[in-house]
């Protein structure tokens, strides 16, 4: 029997990172390279498929920011490696990267932490205000979301967790 692991991209906020100190990030929806995503983007290689899943997690982080107006206006994506059994099926729609996590994500599973830099704060704040409207098809709102997506998230090793929390809070 193999211990197959799956790379999962968990949307988060800066305050949620503090949960990694204890019980871990709560079980929730996340994104990964799913069979539905592979079928939809058949010509994509593994790196391209992972980028799609990562980008979708960053989009979901905007929704988390909208729900938490006190959180610093920075998207956070936590890349984790989990046993395949801990990653539940998503909605199954063609092209979907959505998965459900069966249990909280412990810090030991974290491969990397991705956070917007200071230069993205203004654009992320604007996008978080209108992300729901963008998802509903509003072109002006989508323009604001695209402005946030123009910023690449910075990469941090899990050993830098405390530094990231202090620097972005």
Nearest C-alpha neighbor of 104 from the set 13, 30, 155, 158: 30
Q: What confidence score (pLDDT) does residue 90 get?
A: 74
Task: Return the pLDDT at 38.
Answer: 85
pLDDT tens string for the chain (169 positions)? 457 889 999 999 999 999 999 889 988 899 999 888 888 888 878 899 999 999 999 999 999 999 999 999 999 999 999 998 889 887 778 888 999 998 999 999 999 999 999 999 999 999 999 999 998 999 999 999 999 999 999 999 999 999 999 988 7
β-bridge partners, 81: 7
CA 50 to chain CA centroid, Å, is: 12
pLDDT score, position 2: 54
- Dihedral angle of Cα 127, 128, 129, 132, to the nearest 10 degrees: 90
**Rounded to two decimals, what is the model's pTM?**
0.92
């Amino acid at each position: 029997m193999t211990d197959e692991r799956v790379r999962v991209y968990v949307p988060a906020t800066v305050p949620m990172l503090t949960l990694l100190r204890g019980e871990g990030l709560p079980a929730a929806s996340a994104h990964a390279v799913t069979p539905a995503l592979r079928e939809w983007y058949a010509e994509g290689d593994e790196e391209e498929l992972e980028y799609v899943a990562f980008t979708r997690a960053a989009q979901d982080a905007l929704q988390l920011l909208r729900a938490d107006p006190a959180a610093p206006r920075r998207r956070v994506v936590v890349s984790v490696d989990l046993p395949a059994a801990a990653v539940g099926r998503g909605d199954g729609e063609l092209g979907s990267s959505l998965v459900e996590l069966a249990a909280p994500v412990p810090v030991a599973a974290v491969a990397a932490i991705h956070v917007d830099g200071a230069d993205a704060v203004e654009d992320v704040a604007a996008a978080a205000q209108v992300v729901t409207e963008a998802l509903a098809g509003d072109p002006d709102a989508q323009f604001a979301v695209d402005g946030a997506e123009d910023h690449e998230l910075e990469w941090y090793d899990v050993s830098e967790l405390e530094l990231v929390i202090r620097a972005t809070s």
